């Protein structure tokens, strides 16, 4: 109230602002009650007989235009009509006043009503305020709790329009930051014991220790008193701007409020001359105002003679007070009245008065014929309509104490809040420390600035943890719990082949085809490539056996060439033996094609080489067996069979047997050839580089044909098993074919059931095992006789039977 009076007097004394007009005022008490406020409003709007300017207000403050350019009041009896209402502090009362002002079109400027509902210009077209809308405060609060990781907070408020709209906005805004309300509760303005029990029961039962409270200091005082009775500690209070700087709460509940954080409206560092104005009260002037008289009596604990408050105080305490001496001085005592260190609400009042003044100044500066109203007319500053004044007020743009003041399309100022932290001074008093700020005009993401290092917390040296569920680490994702808020969830590890590299990931992302998650599943790493290489033990062993087999085969060829004229070598079809040994050497070397990183060309060669080399070997064995069998059959009288099994026919049979396999391989290569393939189906974390057959039919036809040749060879060798021992290879061929069948029959199920490099190893092992079986079963006995029993290598021994 005193700040408004000071601002009006300051404007009236200025020569650069409204030099032709003087402002006057009426002050009425709203009693924080709608009926009383409406009664006062109607008096201000309709006018009342006044002999001089009156002052009797706390919250609803009316500013009137005085047509006199030299006097503050009005001479004689004049019906003074207020053209602007400054007030009310409460959002609910302001809404009631605005609905009643509808037919008057009188502007109402509030200095503390923050409800976002008042921004509705369709419903409240004549409303303006110097207090930021709660919509900005809610954004700031949502960012604040998110900044400290408080995703699980309690939200309470007094049952009023202010708190209801604020809580609703917070629930909507907090979703953007992943913040949830552990509970929301509205309590009545008058807090009885039942209401306190209900509220405190909710607070005690909840897991959240961070509480946002939308109320005034009077309701907060009742809550703190009950909290002290129940000895509840460790709560982190988040104050709305309505009580963020309510220093009176500290007197009895400082230990409960230490560490409180809240957004306070912008503070003026100093309003020049205001402190002197406040301290300049003297008893003669005080008698005129019930407010000032009560302030004086309570501050100095005395009784003013003729005080307008006397009839309100019928208690013995008041009557027992000593009369005031008249020498009392406000400079000698401390009171909240004279404390100008927290000029926040008062600064809003100061700006509201200057808003009206600058609107009148803009109206006065209107040039005739260029006005904003019908037919380009201007309004008369000494005789205007309220709706003309609101036009200029909404377009006002001025500076007050260095701050640029302007308004948006809803009549709201640009929001700026100080983030204050309640800290204890060494003497136990309250120290409201600015630890950050919120500037709605800053770019997105930079509006909230916090200095964590200077914050004092209720417990310990760091912020409390207030979460429903702990954060999900990288490598996992959030799984919502059915029927619970979004902040309550379980952490589920990422599925196979998926990763998440952020905390609290909603989804895991799948790795690319050539990458795979690491053990923590927070990073995709290149997959391990797998193939049978020359650098691993299995590859080295198989390579060594292949080379050794080929060398043994070639050594036997050399031995046979050395002893080619001996009966043992000559009696066993020397030419076919050489061919067989050569082809066996090739079979051993074919195994090398299966080792190393597969490529398309290797795959083209690998399977046909395998099929053709074994077809050559089995064809040679088949020819040898047929020659032995037919040789003994031809000794019968009159037999001419041997003429069909001469050297040329033997060569032709070998080529013919192999030609069929060559044709099968050509058809296979031309239709669906083998090729290299990156296989990730068997083991997702490994890329198996393998040769795929292209056509399963082609592969099994190659194997099947080798099997047919082997069966024919086995049958013929079996038929020749009873021929004379010394001249008979049939039993060795029979035994070698049994080994061959055993190897390849075992190979089929093992080949089908293995994957990757082990399939290749099985294939090589089958090749080497069957080749070694043929080599040692057929040629080992001959080599033994040649090397260790040379005395048996003669015609007489071979022809004994």
Other CB atoms within 10 A of residue 799 CB: 12
pLDDT at position 56:
35
552's tokens: 């043994």
Place of tokens 């930051």: 177
Alpha-carbon gap, residue 236 to 335, rounded angstroms: 29
Q: What is the dihedral of CA 529, 532, 537, 543, to 10 degrees?
A: -150
CA distances to 4, 355, 447 from 398, rounded to whole Å, are 18, 8, 23
pLDDT tens profile 342-377: 898 999 999 999 999 999 999 999 998 898 998 889
Please give the pLDDT value at position 632. 61
Structural contact between residues 607 and 583, judged by C-beta atoms closer than 8 angstroms: no
Residue 471 CA: distances (Å) to CA of 16, 83, 493: 60, 57, 13
User: What integer pLDDT is reported at residue 741 of this predicted model?
Assistant: 85
Q: In this structure, are residues 25 and 5 in contact, taking their beta carbons and an 8 Å threshold? A: yes
In what helix (H) or strand (E) does residue 477 lie, and over which residues does it extend? strand 476-480
How many angstroms separate the Cα of 764 from the Cα of each of 38, 325, 532, 594, 682?
102, 119, 11, 7, 21
pLDDT tens for 629-658 read 666 655 555 555 555 556 777 778 888 888
Per-residue burial over 109-143, b = 16 or more CB atoms within 10 Å of its CB, e = otherwise: bbbbbbbbbbbeeeebebbbbbbbbbbbbbbbbbb
Q: How far apart are the first and last CA of the chain?
A: 142
Q: How far apart are CA 145 and CA 179, in angstroms?
A: 8
The pLDDT of residue 710 is: 87
Residue with tokens 């602007």: 84
Q: What is the pLDDT of residue 30?
A: 86
Q: What beta strand segments (E) does 501-596 contain?
A: 509-510, 515-517, 524-526, 528-530
pLDDT at 510: 92
Alpha helices in 301-444 (DSSP H): 316-319, 345-364, 386-394
Positions of the chain with pLDDT lower than 50, given as ranges: 50-79, 311-316, 727, 801
Q: Round to whole Å and give the CA distance between 108 and 564.
A: 127
Contacts of 727 (CB under 8 A, 6+ apart): 571, 798, 799, 801
Alpha-carbon distance of 82 to 62, in angstroms, equals 6
Question: Does this model's pTM top 0.85?
Answer: no
CB 678 within 8 Å of CB 687? yes
Q: Can you read off the two tokens belonging to residue 495?
A: 């599925």
Name residues whose C-beta falls within 8 Å of residue 58's C-beta, 6 or more positions apart in sequence.
Answer: 1, 29, 30, 31, 291
CA distance 413 to 212: 24
352: CB partners within 8 A, 6+ apart = 4, 86, 109, 110, 111, 129, 130
C-alpha angle with apex 125: 123 to 127, nearest 5 degrees?
105
Q: In whole angstroms, how large is the CA radius of gyration of the chain? A: 52
Give 401's contacts (C-beta < 8 A, 6+ positions apart): 268, 269, 270, 271, 347, 350
DSSP, collapsed to helix, strand or coil, labels residue 231 as coil
| 8-state DSSP, 343 | B
Q: What is the Cα–Cα distance from 327 to 441, expressed in whole angstroms?
A: 50
Burial status of residue 76 (CB atoms within 10 A of its CB: 0-12, 13-18, 19 or more): exposed
How many angstroms separate the CA atoms of 718 and 625, rounded? Answer: 9
- Nearby residues of 236 by Cβ (< 8 Å), 6 or more positions away: 150, 209, 210, 211, 259, 260, 261, 457, 458, 463, 464, 466
Structure tokens at 381: 């500053």
Contacting residues for 121 by C-beta, under 8 A, at least 6 apart: 127, 409, 410, 411
Rounded CA separation 769/775 (Å): 10
């Amino acid at each position: 109230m005193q700040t408004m009076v000071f601002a009006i007097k300051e404007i009236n004394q200025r020569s650069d602002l409204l030099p032709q007009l003087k402002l006057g005022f009426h002050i009425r008490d709203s009693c924080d009650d709608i009926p009383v406020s409406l009664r006062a409003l109607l008096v201000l709007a309709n006018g009342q007989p006044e002999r001089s300017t009156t002052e009797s207000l706390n919250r609803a403050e009316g500013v009137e235009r005085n047509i006199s350019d030299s006097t503050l009041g009005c001479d004689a009896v004049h019906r003074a009509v207020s053209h602007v209402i400054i007030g009310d502090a409460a959002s609910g009362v302001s809404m009631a006043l605005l609905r009643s002002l509808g037919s008057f079109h009188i502007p109402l400027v509030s200095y503390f009503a923050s409800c976002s509902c008042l921004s509705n210009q369709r419903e409240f077209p004549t409303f303006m305020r110097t207090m930021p809308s709660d919509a900005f405060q809610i954004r700031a609060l949502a960012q604040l709790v998110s900044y400290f990781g408080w995703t699980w907070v309690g939200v309470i408020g007094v049952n009023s329009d202010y708190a209801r709209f604020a809580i609703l906005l917070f629930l909507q805004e907090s979703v953007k930051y992943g913040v949830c309300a552990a509970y929301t509760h509205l309590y009545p303005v008058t807090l009885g014991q039942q209401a306190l029990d209900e509220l405190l029961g909710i607070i005690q039962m909840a897991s959240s220790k961070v509480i946002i409270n939308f109320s005034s200091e009077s309701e907060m005082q009742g809550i703190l008193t009950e909290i002290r009775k129940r000895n509840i500690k460790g709560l982190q209070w988040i104050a709305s701007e309505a009580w963020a700087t309510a220093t009176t709460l500290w007197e009895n509940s400082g230990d409960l409020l230490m560490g409180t954080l809240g957004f306070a409206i912008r503070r003026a560092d100093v309003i020049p001359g205001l402190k002197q104005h406040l301290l300049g009260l003297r008893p003669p002037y005080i008698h005129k105002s019930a407010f000032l008289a009560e302030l004086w009596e309570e501050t100095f604990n005395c009784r003013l003679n003729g005080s307008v408050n006397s009839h309100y105080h019928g208690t013995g305490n008041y009557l027992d007070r000593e009369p005031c001496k008249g020498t009392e001085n406000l400079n000698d005592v401390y009171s909240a009245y004279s404390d100008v260190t927290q000029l926040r609400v008062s600064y809003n009042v100061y700006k509201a008065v200057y808003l009206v003044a600058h609107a009148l100044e803009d109206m006065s500066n209107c040039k005739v014929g260029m006005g904003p109203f019908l037919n380009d007319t201007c309004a008369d500053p000494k005789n205007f309509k309220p709706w003309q004044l609101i036009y200029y007020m909404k377009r006002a743009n001025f500076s007050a104490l260095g701050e640029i003041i302007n308004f948006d399309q809803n009549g709201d100022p640009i929001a700026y809040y100080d983030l204050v932290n309640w800290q204890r001074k060494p003497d136990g008093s309250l120290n409201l420390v600015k630890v950050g700020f919120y500037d709605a005009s800053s770019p997105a993401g930079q509006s909230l600035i916090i200095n964590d290092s200077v914050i004092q917390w209720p417990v310990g040296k760091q912020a409390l943890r207030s979460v429903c569920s702990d954060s999900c680490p990288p490598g996992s994702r959030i799984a919502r719990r059915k029927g619970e808020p979004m902040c309550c969830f379980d952490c589920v590890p990422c599925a196979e082949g998926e990763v998440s590299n952020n905390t609290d990931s909603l989804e895991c992302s799948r790795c690319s085809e050539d990458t795979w998650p690491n053990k923590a599943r927070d990073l995709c790493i290149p997959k391990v490539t797998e193939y049978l290489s020359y650098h691993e033990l299995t590859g080295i062993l198989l390579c060594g056996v292949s080379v050794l087999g080929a060398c043994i085969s070639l050594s036997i060829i050399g031995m046979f060439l050395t002893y080619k004229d001996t009966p043992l070598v000559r009696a066993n079809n020397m030419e076919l033996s050489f061919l067989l040994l050569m082809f066996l050497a090739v079979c051993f070397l074919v195994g090398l094609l299966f080792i190393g990183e597969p490529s398309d060309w290797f795959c083209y060669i690998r399977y046909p080489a395998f099929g053709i080399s074994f077809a050559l070997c089995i064809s040679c064995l088949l020819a040898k067996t047929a020659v032995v069998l037919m040789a003994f059959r031809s000794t019968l009288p009159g037999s001419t069979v041997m003429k069909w099994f001469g050297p040329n026919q033997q060569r032709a049979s070998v080529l013919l047997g192999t030609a069929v396999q060559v044709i099968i391989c050509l058809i296979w290569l031309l239709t669906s050839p083998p090729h290299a393939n990156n296989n990730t189906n068997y083991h997702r974390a490994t890329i198996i580089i393998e040769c795929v057959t292209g056509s399963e039919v082609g592969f099994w036809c190659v194997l099947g044909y080798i099997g047919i040749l082997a069966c024919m060879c086995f049958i013929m060798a079996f038929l020749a098993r009873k021929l004379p021992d010394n001249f008979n290879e049939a039993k060795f061929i029979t035994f070698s074919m049994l080994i061959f069948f055993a190897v390849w029959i075992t190979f089929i199920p093992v080949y089908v059931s293995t994957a990757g490099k082990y399939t290749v190893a099985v294939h090589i092992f089958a090749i080497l095992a069957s080749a070694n079986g043929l080599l040692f079963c057929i040629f080992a006995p001959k080599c033994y006789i040649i090397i260790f029993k040379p005395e048996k290598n003669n015609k007489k021994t071979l022809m004994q039977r």
